[in-house]
Homo-oligomer: A and B are copies of this chain.
Amino acid sequence: MSYEIKGLNEECGVFGVFGAENASQLTYFGLHSLQHRGQEGAGIVSSDGDRLHQHRDRGLLAKVFADEKDLLRLTGDSAIGHVRYGTSGNNSINNIQPFLFRFHDGDVALAHNGNLTNAVTLKRDLEDRGAVFQSNSDTEILIHLIRQKQNCTFIEALKQSLNEVKGGFAFLLLRKDSLIAALDPNGFRPLSIGQLDNGAYVVASETCALDTVGAKFVRDVQPGELIVINKNGMKIDRYTDKTQLSICSMEYIYFARPDSIIHGVTVHNARKRMGKLLAKEQPADADMVIGVPNSSLSAASGYAEELGLPYEMGLIKNQYIARTFIQPTQELRERGVKMKLSAVRGVVEGKRVVVVDDSIVRGTTSKQLVKLLREAGAKEVHMRISSPPFKFPCFYGIDISTRSELMAANHTVEEMSDLIGADSLGFLSIPSLIKAISVKGGADYPNGGLTVAYFDGKYPTPLYDYEEAYLTSLKSQQEREEK
Protein backbone atom coordinates (compact mmCIF):
# COMPACT_ATOMS: atom_id res chain seq x y z
CA MET A 1 0.00 0.00 0.00
CA SER A 2 0.99 3.64 0.10
CA TYR A 3 3.00 2.71 -2.94
CA GLU A 4 3.50 6.29 -3.98
CA ILE A 5 5.86 7.07 -1.18
CA LYS A 6 7.95 3.94 -1.34
CA GLY A 7 10.81 3.07 -3.57
CA LEU A 8 9.89 -0.55 -3.39
CA ASN A 9 7.21 -2.34 -5.30
CA GLU A 10 5.82 -5.78 -5.54
CA GLU A 11 5.51 -6.82 -9.12
CA CYS A 12 2.14 -8.50 -9.32
CA GLY A 13 -0.98 -10.12 -8.03
CA VAL A 14 -2.74 -13.06 -9.67
CA PHE A 15 -6.22 -14.48 -9.38
CA GLY A 16 -7.96 -17.40 -11.05
CA VAL A 17 -11.27 -19.21 -10.83
CA PHE A 18 -12.60 -22.37 -12.48
CA GLY A 19 -16.20 -23.55 -12.68
CA ALA A 20 -18.13 -20.47 -11.61
CA GLU A 21 -20.70 -18.48 -13.55
CA ASN A 22 -19.59 -14.92 -14.13
CA ALA A 23 -15.98 -16.01 -13.75
CA SER A 24 -14.63 -12.76 -15.11
CA GLN A 25 -16.71 -10.68 -12.69
CA LEU A 26 -15.41 -12.74 -9.77
CA THR A 27 -11.92 -12.21 -11.09
CA TYR A 28 -12.59 -8.47 -11.22
CA PHE A 29 -13.60 -8.52 -7.56
CA GLY A 30 -10.62 -10.65 -6.63
CA LEU A 31 -8.15 -8.43 -8.48
CA HIS A 32 -9.65 -5.39 -6.81
CA SER A 33 -8.56 -6.70 -3.43
CA LEU A 34 -5.10 -7.41 -4.87
CA GLN A 35 -4.78 -3.95 -6.39
CA HIS A 36 -2.18 -3.00 -3.73
CA ARG A 37 0.17 -5.51 -5.43
CA GLY A 38 0.22 -3.61 -8.73
CA GLN A 39 -1.31 -0.41 -10.05
CA GLU A 40 0.28 0.00 -13.46
CA GLY A 41 -1.83 -2.38 -15.48
CA ALA A 42 -4.49 -5.04 -15.19
CA GLY A 43 -6.07 -7.70 -17.32
CA ILE A 44 -8.40 -10.69 -17.35
CA VAL A 45 -8.61 -13.68 -19.69
CA SER A 46 -11.69 -15.91 -19.56
CA SER A 47 -12.49 -19.24 -21.16
CA ASP A 48 -15.93 -20.09 -22.50
CA GLY A 49 -14.93 -23.74 -22.80
CA ASP A 50 -13.87 -23.29 -26.40
CA ARG A 51 -12.07 -19.98 -26.89
CA LEU A 52 -10.24 -17.63 -24.58
CA HIS A 53 -11.16 -13.92 -24.35
CA GLN A 54 -8.85 -11.16 -23.21
CA HIS A 55 -9.00 -7.56 -22.02
CA ARG A 56 -6.05 -5.71 -20.56
CA ASP A 57 -4.76 -2.17 -20.39
CA ARG A 58 -2.59 0.24 -18.49
CA GLY A 59 -3.80 1.77 -15.23
CA LEU A 60 -5.86 0.78 -12.24
CA LEU A 61 -8.36 -2.04 -12.57
CA ALA A 62 -11.32 0.35 -12.37
CA LYS A 63 -9.93 2.35 -15.29
CA VAL A 64 -9.07 -0.72 -17.36
CA PHE A 65 -12.65 -1.93 -17.02
CA ALA A 66 -14.25 1.53 -17.03
CA ASP A 67 -16.46 0.35 -19.85
CA GLU A 68 -18.61 -2.44 -18.47
CA LYS A 69 -18.84 -4.03 -21.92
CA ASP A 70 -15.16 -4.91 -21.76
CA LEU A 71 -15.89 -7.15 -18.79
CA LEU A 72 -19.14 -8.61 -20.09
CA ARG A 73 -17.36 -9.65 -23.26
CA LEU A 74 -15.21 -12.02 -21.16
CA THR A 75 -17.72 -14.82 -21.07
CA GLY A 76 -17.29 -18.28 -19.59
CA ASP A 77 -16.93 -20.23 -16.38
CA SER A 78 -13.21 -19.86 -15.85
CA ALA A 79 -10.83 -16.93 -15.84
CA ILE A 80 -7.46 -15.69 -14.70
CA GLY A 81 -6.47 -12.12 -13.94
CA HIS A 82 -3.42 -10.07 -13.12
CA VAL A 83 -2.52 -6.70 -11.63
CA ARG A 84 0.90 -5.41 -12.49
CA TYR A 85 3.52 -3.01 -11.29
CA GLY A 86 5.83 -1.97 -14.11
CA THR A 87 8.88 0.21 -14.39
CA SER A 88 8.48 3.27 -16.57
CA GLY A 89 10.25 2.06 -19.68
CA ASN A 90 8.21 -1.08 -19.91
CA ASN A 91 4.68 0.13 -19.68
CA SER A 92 3.73 -0.94 -23.17
CA ILE A 93 0.40 -2.69 -23.34
CA ASN A 94 2.34 -5.67 -24.73
CA ASN A 95 3.71 -6.27 -21.25
CA ILE A 96 0.38 -6.32 -19.45
CA GLN A 97 -0.81 -9.74 -18.35
CA PRO A 98 -2.41 -12.23 -18.55
CA PHE A 99 -0.76 -12.97 -21.87
CA LEU A 100 -2.95 -14.77 -24.36
CA PHE A 101 -1.43 -17.05 -26.99
CA ARG A 102 -3.51 -18.57 -29.75
CA PHE A 103 -2.22 -21.80 -31.31
CA HIS A 104 -3.80 -23.96 -33.97
CA ASP A 105 -4.09 -26.62 -31.27
CA GLY A 106 -5.69 -24.35 -28.64
CA ASP A 107 -5.39 -21.07 -26.73
CA VAL A 108 -3.24 -20.64 -23.61
CA ALA A 109 -3.23 -17.69 -21.20
CA LEU A 110 -0.52 -16.97 -18.67
CA ALA A 111 -0.20 -14.77 -15.58
CA HIS A 112 2.89 -14.49 -13.43
CA ASN A 113 3.91 -13.04 -10.07
CA GLY A 114 7.64 -13.10 -9.45
CA ASN A 115 10.96 -12.67 -11.17
CA LEU A 116 13.02 -15.23 -13.05
CA THR A 117 16.74 -15.11 -12.27
CA ASN A 118 17.82 -16.86 -15.47
CA ALA A 119 15.53 -14.99 -17.83
CA VAL A 120 18.27 -13.29 -19.83
CA THR A 121 20.04 -16.56 -20.49
CA LEU A 122 16.87 -18.46 -21.35
CA LYS A 123 15.61 -15.73 -23.63
CA ARG A 124 18.89 -15.55 -25.51
CA ASP A 125 18.94 -19.31 -25.95
CA LEU A 126 15.36 -19.34 -27.16
CA GLU A 127 15.93 -16.50 -29.59
CA ASP A 128 18.94 -18.30 -30.96
CA ARG A 129 16.65 -21.24 -31.62
CA GLY A 130 14.22 -18.98 -33.54
CA ALA A 131 11.84 -17.77 -30.85
CA VAL A 132 10.18 -14.39 -31.37
CA PHE A 133 9.30 -12.49 -28.18
CA GLN A 134 6.80 -9.67 -28.20
CA SER A 135 7.07 -8.46 -24.62
CA ASN A 136 9.94 -7.50 -22.35
CA SER A 137 8.50 -9.70 -19.68
CA ASP A 138 10.14 -12.77 -18.14
CA THR A 139 6.77 -14.36 -18.21
CA GLU A 140 6.63 -14.97 -21.93
CA ILE A 141 9.63 -17.29 -21.60
CA LEU A 142 7.55 -20.06 -20.06
CA ILE A 143 5.25 -20.41 -23.07
CA HIS A 144 8.21 -20.61 -25.44
CA LEU A 145 9.81 -23.31 -23.30
CA ILE A 146 6.57 -25.26 -23.30
CA ARG A 147 6.10 -25.00 -27.07
CA GLN A 148 9.65 -26.12 -27.76
CA LYS A 149 8.95 -29.48 -26.15
CA GLN A 150 8.05 -32.11 -28.69
CA ASN A 151 6.10 -35.35 -28.38
CA CYS A 152 4.69 -34.85 -24.92
CA THR A 153 1.49 -33.64 -23.28
CA PHE A 154 1.00 -30.05 -22.28
CA ILE A 155 1.36 -30.92 -18.60
CA GLU A 156 4.58 -32.84 -19.22
CA ALA A 157 5.95 -29.96 -21.26
CA LEU A 158 4.96 -27.54 -18.52
CA LYS A 159 6.66 -29.63 -15.82
CA GLN A 160 9.88 -29.81 -17.80
CA SER A 161 9.73 -26.08 -18.41
CA LEU A 162 9.12 -25.27 -14.75
CA ASN A 163 12.35 -27.10 -13.99
CA GLU A 164 14.20 -24.87 -16.43
CA VAL A 165 13.08 -21.47 -15.10
CA LYS A 166 14.78 -20.25 -11.91
CA GLY A 167 13.89 -17.62 -9.34
CA GLY A 168 10.57 -16.67 -7.81
CA PHE A 169 7.33 -17.46 -9.54
CA ALA A 170 3.68 -18.08 -8.97
CA PHE A 171 2.21 -18.94 -12.37
CA LEU A 172 -1.43 -19.23 -13.36
CA LEU A 173 -2.26 -20.77 -16.74
CA LEU A 174 -5.65 -20.97 -18.33
CA ARG A 175 -6.58 -23.33 -21.15
CA LYS A 176 -10.02 -23.79 -22.61
CA ASP A 177 -10.77 -26.62 -20.17
CA SER A 178 -8.42 -26.20 -17.23
CA LEU A 179 -6.81 -23.80 -14.79
CA ILE A 180 -3.23 -24.55 -13.71
CA ALA A 181 -1.21 -23.06 -10.86
CA ALA A 182 2.49 -23.55 -10.17
CA LEU A 183 4.80 -22.25 -7.44
CA ASP A 184 8.60 -22.03 -7.50
CA PRO A 185 10.66 -24.54 -5.45
CA ASN A 186 11.21 -22.00 -2.67
CA GLY A 187 7.68 -20.65 -2.55
CA PHE A 188 9.04 -17.11 -2.62
CA ARG A 189 5.65 -15.65 -3.47
CA PRO A 190 2.38 -16.50 -1.71
CA LEU A 191 -0.38 -18.41 -3.51
CA SER A 192 -3.53 -19.74 -1.89
CA ILE A 193 -6.41 -21.94 -2.95
CA GLY A 194 -10.02 -21.41 -1.91
CA GLN A 195 -13.38 -22.87 -2.76
CA LEU A 196 -16.74 -21.25 -3.41
CA ASP A 197 -19.99 -22.64 -2.04
CA ASN A 198 -20.76 -24.24 -5.38
CA GLY A 199 -17.46 -26.11 -5.30
CA ALA A 200 -15.63 -23.94 -7.80
CA TYR A 201 -11.95 -23.48 -7.06
CA VAL A 202 -10.25 -20.12 -6.69
CA VAL A 203 -6.50 -19.39 -6.67
CA ALA A 204 -5.11 -16.04 -5.51
CA SER A 205 -1.91 -14.32 -4.46
CA GLU A 206 -3.45 -13.47 -1.09
CA THR A 207 -6.31 -14.81 0.99
CA CYS A 208 -7.92 -11.36 1.14
CA ALA A 209 -9.04 -12.03 -2.44
CA LEU A 210 -10.61 -15.32 -1.38
CA ASP A 211 -12.56 -13.48 1.32
CA THR A 212 -13.71 -10.84 -1.15
CA VAL A 213 -15.24 -13.38 -3.49
CA GLY A 214 -16.68 -15.40 -0.64
CA ALA A 215 -14.38 -18.38 -1.05
CA LYS A 216 -13.34 -20.57 1.88
CA PHE A 217 -9.60 -21.07 2.33
CA VAL A 218 -8.50 -24.58 1.31
CA ARG A 219 -4.70 -24.61 1.44
CA ASP A 220 -1.55 -22.69 0.52
CA VAL A 221 0.13 -23.87 -2.64
CA GLN A 222 3.43 -25.45 -1.54
CA PRO A 223 6.87 -25.01 -3.13
CA GLY A 224 7.28 -27.14 -6.24
CA GLU A 225 3.61 -27.90 -6.62
CA LEU A 226 1.59 -27.97 -9.81
CA ILE A 227 -2.16 -27.66 -9.28
CA VAL A 228 -4.45 -28.69 -12.12
CA ILE A 229 -8.13 -27.78 -11.86
CA ASN A 230 -10.64 -28.98 -14.41
CA LYS A 231 -14.16 -30.36 -14.53
CA ASN A 232 -12.96 -33.42 -12.57
CA GLY A 233 -11.90 -31.22 -9.65
CA MET A 234 -8.48 -30.29 -8.33
CA LYS A 235 -5.39 -32.46 -8.70
CA ILE A 236 -2.29 -31.65 -6.62
CA ASP A 237 0.85 -32.65 -8.50
CA ARG A 238 4.56 -31.74 -8.24
CA TYR A 239 7.10 -30.86 -10.90
CA THR A 240 10.07 -31.20 -8.52
CA ASP A 241 10.93 -32.60 -5.08
CA LYS A 242 13.89 -30.34 -4.53
CA THR A 243 12.07 -27.70 -2.52
CA GLN A 244 12.81 -25.54 0.49
CA LEU A 245 10.28 -23.04 1.80
CA SER A 246 11.82 -19.55 1.75
CA ILE A 247 8.86 -17.23 1.52
CA CYS A 248 9.69 -13.56 1.06
CA SER A 249 9.67 -11.86 4.48
CA MET A 250 8.77 -8.54 2.82
CA GLU A 251 5.30 -9.93 2.17
CA TYR A 252 4.74 -9.91 5.94
CA ILE A 253 6.68 -6.70 6.57
CA TYR A 254 5.21 -4.55 3.88
CA PHE A 255 3.46 -5.91 0.81
CA ALA A 256 0.56 -8.08 1.84
CA ARG A 257 -2.73 -6.76 3.09
CA PRO A 258 -3.08 -6.97 6.90
CA ASP A 259 -6.09 -9.27 6.66
CA SER A 260 -4.33 -11.84 4.49
CA ILE A 261 -3.20 -15.12 6.04
CA ILE A 262 0.01 -16.49 4.55
CA HIS A 263 1.27 -19.92 5.56
CA GLY A 264 -0.99 -19.81 8.59
CA VAL A 265 0.01 -16.34 9.79
CA THR A 266 -2.31 -13.33 9.74
CA VAL A 267 -0.23 -10.48 8.39
CA HIS A 268 -1.61 -7.93 10.86
CA ASN A 269 -0.74 -10.17 13.78
CA ALA A 270 2.77 -10.73 12.49
CA ARG A 271 3.25 -7.00 12.19
CA LYS A 272 1.89 -6.39 15.65
CA ARG A 273 4.39 -8.92 17.04
CA MET A 274 7.18 -7.18 15.11
CA GLY A 275 6.12 -3.98 16.84
CA LYS A 276 6.19 -5.62 20.26
CA LEU A 277 9.60 -7.18 19.73
CA LEU A 278 10.88 -3.90 18.33
CA ALA A 279 9.67 -2.19 21.52
CA LYS A 280 11.67 -4.65 23.59
CA GLU A 281 14.81 -4.28 21.50
CA GLN A 282 14.56 -0.57 20.74
CA PRO A 283 12.47 1.14 23.40
CA ALA A 284 12.11 4.92 23.45
CA ASP A 285 11.35 7.46 26.13
CA ALA A 286 8.39 9.24 24.56
CA ASP A 287 4.85 10.54 25.05
CA MET A 288 3.17 8.57 22.31
CA VAL A 289 3.57 6.15 19.44
CA ILE A 290 2.33 6.81 15.92
CA GLY A 291 2.44 4.67 12.78
CA VAL A 292 2.94 5.56 9.16
CA PRO A 293 -0.33 4.79 7.41
CA ASN A 294 -1.35 2.33 6.21
CA SER A 295 1.22 -0.47 6.29
CA SER A 296 2.88 0.41 9.62
CA LEU A 297 -0.19 0.90 11.80
CA SER A 298 -0.19 -2.70 13.01
CA ALA A 299 3.44 -2.58 14.10
CA ALA A 300 2.95 0.82 15.74
CA SER A 301 0.04 -0.45 17.83
CA GLY A 302 2.13 -3.41 18.95
CA TYR A 303 5.01 -1.12 19.88
CA ALA A 304 2.68 1.14 21.90
CA GLU A 305 0.99 -1.78 23.65
CA GLU A 306 4.30 -3.33 24.68
CA LEU A 307 5.61 -0.11 26.23
CA GLY A 308 2.23 1.00 27.61
CA LEU A 309 2.44 4.23 25.65
CA PRO A 310 -0.59 5.91 24.03
CA TYR A 311 -1.08 4.86 20.41
CA GLU A 312 -2.15 7.96 18.51
CA MET A 313 -3.16 8.99 15.00
CA GLY A 314 -0.39 11.46 14.29
CA LEU A 315 -0.19 11.02 10.55
CA ILE A 316 -3.05 11.03 8.05
CA LYS A 317 -2.82 9.55 4.60
CA ASN A 318 -4.89 11.17 1.88
CA GLN A 319 -7.03 8.38 0.49
CA TYR A 320 -7.17 9.98 -2.95
CA ILE A 321 -4.38 9.34 -5.38
CA ALA A 322 -2.72 12.54 -6.45
CA ARG A 323 -1.27 13.31 -9.80
CA THR A 324 2.22 14.55 -9.08
CA PHE A 325 3.00 16.11 -12.41
CA ILE A 326 2.97 19.68 -11.27
CA GLN A 327 6.22 20.61 -9.66
CA PRO A 328 7.75 23.64 -11.29
CA THR A 329 9.51 24.75 -8.10
CA GLN A 330 11.12 23.10 -5.10
CA GLU A 331 8.45 24.70 -2.94
CA LEU A 332 5.71 23.07 -5.00
CA ARG A 333 7.54 19.77 -4.88
CA GLU A 334 7.41 19.82 -1.10
CA ARG A 335 3.73 20.58 -1.24
CA GLY A 336 3.45 17.45 -3.37
CA VAL A 337 4.66 15.34 -0.47
CA LYS A 338 2.09 16.95 1.77
CA MET A 339 -0.64 15.93 -0.64
CA LYS A 340 -0.06 12.34 0.37
CA LEU A 341 0.70 12.48 4.08
CA SER A 342 -0.22 15.02 6.80
CA ALA A 343 0.89 15.33 10.38
CA VAL A 344 -1.87 15.98 12.94
CA ARG A 345 -0.71 19.13 14.74
CA GLY A 346 -3.36 18.75 17.45
CA VAL A 347 -1.86 15.39 18.36
CA VAL A 348 1.91 15.78 18.06
CA GLU A 349 2.46 19.42 19.02
CA GLY A 350 4.85 19.67 21.93
CA LYS A 351 5.15 15.91 22.25
CA ARG A 352 8.01 13.38 22.15
CA VAL A 353 6.88 11.09 19.39
CA VAL A 354 7.91 7.56 18.38
CA VAL A 355 7.06 7.03 14.74
CA VAL A 356 7.04 3.41 13.58
CA ASP A 357 7.62 2.62 9.90
CA ASP A 358 7.99 -0.77 8.27
CA SER A 359 11.20 -0.18 6.35
CA ILE A 360 13.70 2.33 5.06
CA VAL A 361 14.57 1.96 1.38
CA ARG A 362 16.16 5.11 0.01
CA GLY A 363 15.51 7.17 3.13
CA THR A 364 13.81 10.06 1.35
CA THR A 365 10.38 9.28 2.75
CA SER A 366 11.76 8.93 6.28
CA LYS A 367 13.44 12.30 6.02
CA GLN A 368 10.22 13.93 4.87
CA LEU A 369 8.28 12.23 7.65
CA VAL A 370 10.57 13.60 10.32
CA LYS A 371 10.38 17.07 8.80
CA LEU A 372 6.59 16.89 8.62
CA LEU A 373 6.32 15.94 12.29
CA ARG A 374 8.74 18.63 13.41
CA GLU A 375 6.85 21.26 11.41
CA ALA A 376 3.68 20.14 13.16
CA GLY A 377 5.37 20.86 16.51
CA ALA A 378 6.73 17.47 17.62
CA LYS A 379 9.40 18.05 20.32
CA GLU A 380 11.29 14.83 19.63
CA VAL A 381 10.97 12.34 16.79
CA HIS A 382 12.23 8.81 17.42
CA MET A 383 12.02 6.60 14.41
CA ARG A 384 11.62 2.85 14.83
CA ILE A 385 11.64 0.41 11.94
CA SER A 386 9.77 -2.87 12.31
CA SER A 387 12.25 -4.77 10.13
CA PRO A 388 16.05 -5.07 9.97
CA PRO A 389 18.14 -2.67 7.84
CA PHE A 390 17.41 -3.32 4.14
CA LYS A 391 20.88 -3.84 2.64
CA PHE A 392 20.60 -6.33 -0.20
CA PRO A 393 18.43 -6.35 -3.29
CA CYS A 394 15.67 -8.82 -4.00
CA PHE A 395 15.91 -10.98 -7.10
CA TYR A 396 12.68 -12.90 -6.67
CA GLY A 397 10.03 -10.38 -7.57
CA ILE A 398 10.65 -7.02 -5.88
CA ASP A 399 11.75 -4.22 -8.07
CA ILE A 400 15.06 -3.26 -6.43
CA SER A 401 18.06 -4.72 -8.12
CA THR A 402 20.86 -2.33 -7.30
CA ARG A 403 22.29 -1.85 -3.86
CA SER A 404 23.37 1.71 -4.50
CA GLU A 405 19.83 2.87 -3.91
CA LEU A 406 19.53 1.24 -0.49
CA MET A 407 20.33 3.68 2.33
CA ALA A 408 21.21 0.91 4.78
CA ALA A 409 23.67 -0.59 2.29
CA ASN A 410 25.69 2.56 2.43
CA HIS A 411 25.33 3.95 5.94
CA THR A 412 25.46 2.91 9.59
CA VAL A 413 22.35 3.26 11.72
CA GLU A 414 23.84 6.35 13.34
CA GLU A 415 24.52 7.94 9.96
CA MET A 416 21.02 7.10 8.83
CA SER A 417 19.52 8.68 11.93
CA ASP A 418 21.44 11.87 11.23
CA LEU A 419 20.57 11.86 7.55
CA ILE A 420 16.86 11.57 8.15
CA GLY A 421 17.03 14.09 11.00
CA ALA A 422 15.56 11.88 13.71
CA ASP A 423 16.41 12.11 17.41
CA SER A 424 17.02 8.37 17.39
CA LEU A 425 16.60 5.43 15.06
CA GLY A 426 16.25 1.73 15.78
CA PHE A 427 15.66 -1.42 13.74
CA LEU A 428 14.26 -4.85 14.53
CA SER A 429 16.83 -7.68 14.63
CA ILE A 430 16.69 -10.57 12.16
CA PRO A 431 16.00 -13.20 14.86
CA SER A 432 13.09 -11.11 16.17
CA LEU A 433 11.72 -10.74 12.67
CA ILE A 434 11.77 -14.52 12.23
CA LYS A 435 10.24 -15.01 15.65
CA ALA A 436 7.47 -12.50 14.97
CA ILE A 437 6.40 -14.20 11.79
CA SER A 438 7.02 -17.94 12.51
CA VAL A 439 5.12 -19.45 9.59
CA LYS A 440 3.42 -22.82 9.65
CA GLY A 441 6.02 -25.53 9.07
CA GLY A 442 8.78 -22.95 9.10
CA ALA A 443 10.72 -24.73 11.79
CA ASP A 444 11.82 -27.35 9.26
CA TYR A 445 13.66 -24.76 7.16
CA PRO A 446 16.50 -22.24 7.50
CA ASN A 447 15.36 -18.87 8.90
CA GLY A 448 12.02 -20.41 9.85
CA GLY A 449 11.07 -20.79 6.18
CA LEU A 450 11.61 -17.11 5.41
CA THR A 451 13.85 -15.29 2.97
CA VAL A 452 15.78 -12.72 4.98
CA ALA A 453 18.46 -12.18 2.33
CA TYR A 454 17.51 -8.51 2.06
CA PHE A 455 19.03 -8.11 5.51
CA ASP A 456 21.90 -10.60 5.60
CA GLY A 457 22.74 -11.14 1.94
CA LYS A 458 22.47 -14.92 2.21
CA TYR A 459 20.29 -15.86 -0.72
CA PRO A 460 18.65 -19.30 -0.57
CA THR A 461 19.39 -20.04 -4.26
CA PRO A 462 22.05 -19.37 -6.86
CA LEU A 463 21.44 -16.01 -8.55
CA TYR A 464 22.16 -17.00 -12.17
CA ASP A 465 22.04 -13.92 -14.37
CA TYR A 466 22.36 -11.66 -11.33
CA GLU A 467 25.28 -13.49 -9.70
CA GLU A 468 27.99 -11.27 -11.03
CA ALA A 469 26.22 -8.00 -10.25
CA TYR A 470 25.52 -9.23 -6.77
CA LEU A 471 29.08 -10.22 -6.01
CA THR A 472 30.31 -6.87 -7.22
CA SER A 473 27.95 -5.01 -4.95
CA LEU A 474 28.71 -7.29 -2.06
CA LYS A 475 32.39 -6.63 -2.41
CA SER A 476 31.93 -2.89 -2.40
CA GLN A 477 29.77 -3.29 0.73
CA GLN A 478 32.51 -5.22 2.50
CA GLU A 479 35.10 -2.68 1.51
CA ARG A 480 32.91 0.08 2.88
CA GLU A 481 32.41 -1.75 6.15
CA GLU A 482 36.10 -2.46 6.57
CA LYS A 483 36.87 1.20 6.35
Contact = CB atoms under 8 A, between A and B. Distances in A.
B29 A335 contact: yes
Interface string A245-288: 00000000000011101000111110000000000000000000
B318 A33 contact: yes
A32 interface: yes
Interface in A326-360: 326, 328-329, 331-332, 334-336, 338-339, 342-347
B326 A26 contact: no
A347 B268 contact: yes
Contact of A134 (B25, B124, B134, B334): B134
Contacts of A441: none
B258 A316 contact: yes
A313 B298 contact: yes
A261 B93 CA distance: 39
A470 interface: no
A228 interface: no
A452 to B, nearest CB: 22
A475 interface: no
A319 B143 CA distance: 34
Interface in A13-66: 22, 25-26, 28-29, 32-33, 35-36, 39, 54, 60-62, 65-66
A214 B345 contact: no
A129 B124 CA distance: 17
A71 B326 contact: yes
Contact of A347 (B130, B257, B269, B329): B269
Contact of A32 (B71, B123, B129, B339): B339
A347 B305 CA distance: 16
Interface stretch (A100-108, A382-390, A442-450): A100-108
Interface stretch (A175-183, A205-213, A229-237, A419-427): A205-213
Contacts of A136: 102
A435 interface: no
Interface in A413-456: none
B268 A346 contact: yes
A133 interface: yes
B65 A323 contact: yes
Given A313-B268, A339-B32, A131 B132 contact: yes
Interface string A128-166: 011111101000100110011000000000000000000
13 contacts: A26-B332, A29-B335, A32-B318, A35-B318, A35-B320, A60-B320, A104-B123, A104-B124, A105-B127, A127-B147, A130-B144, A130-B147, A311-B311
Interface of A: 1, 22, 25-26, 28-29, 32-33, 35-36, 39, 54, 60-62, 65-66, 68, 71, 92-93, 101-105, 123-124, 127, 129-134, 136, 140, 143-144, 147-148, 208, 211-214, 257-259, 261, 265-269, 294, 297-298, 301, 305, 310-313, 316, 318-323, 325-326, 328-329, 331-332, 334-336, 338-339, 342-347, 376
